[in-house]
């Protein structure tokens, strides 16, 4: 099954997305990531005010079978977390680019944005991963 790829987001090789809005960005995990994880039962989010460097482990997604680390694609300070995920972690499955967002951050270094994958690059990347997955 082809994964949904949001055209307004930028992507990482570890299947996280960011959507840049001015000097802030929303971040979450991609449709491909949620479909691989299957039913998500808990998301451990960071505290507002925490500062991360690019590539830092900032959240943990718990699916039925396993706990998986999530990495922040951009350096910055967490200014908002999606509190709805506390009671409805399944939003990550049903709407990964919308209601299933994880955090909003204040971007520390805008130059990092250039290094992220475009939607078309990520589509190619996922197609390759799905081929290797051999479904």
What are the residues binding another protein (CB under 8 A)?
38-39, 41-42, 44, 60, 62, 64-65, 67, 86, 135
Which secondary-structure segment (H or E) carries 77? strand 76-81
Sheet of 16-21, strands arranged across: 10-11, 16-21, 24-29, 103-107, 76-81, 51-52
Q: CA 10 → CA 7, 57, 88, 115, distances in Å?
A: 8, 18, 25, 9
- Closest contact distance (angstroms) between CB of 65 and another protein is 5
Q: Which is nearer to another protein, 65 or 128 (CB)?
A: 65
- Closest contact distance (angstroms) between CB of 17 and another protein is 22
Residue with tokens 């991963």, as numbered in its chain = 129
Q: Which is nearer to another protein, 9 or 43 (CB)?
A: 43
Q: Which is nearer to another protein, 23 or 44 (CB)?
A: 44
- Closest contact distance (angstroms) between CB of 53 and another protein is 19
């Amino acid at each position: 099954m082809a994964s949904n790829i949001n055209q307004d987001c930028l992507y990482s090789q570890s299947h996280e997305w960011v959507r840049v809005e001015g000097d802030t960005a929303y971040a979450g995990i991609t449709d491909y990531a949620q479909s691989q994880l299957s039913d998500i039962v808990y998301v451990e989010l960071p505290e507002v005010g925490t500062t991360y460097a690019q590539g830092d482990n900032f959240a943990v997604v718990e699916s039925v079978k396993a706990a998986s680390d999530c990495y922040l694609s951009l350096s910055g300070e967490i200014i908002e977390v999606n509190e709805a995920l506390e009671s409805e972690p399944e939003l990550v499955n049903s709407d990964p680019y919308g209601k299933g967002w994880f955090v909003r951050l204040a971007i520390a270094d805008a130059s990092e944005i250039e290094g992220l994958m475009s939607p078309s690059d990520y589509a190619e990347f996922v197609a390759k991963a799905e081929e290797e997955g051999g479904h």
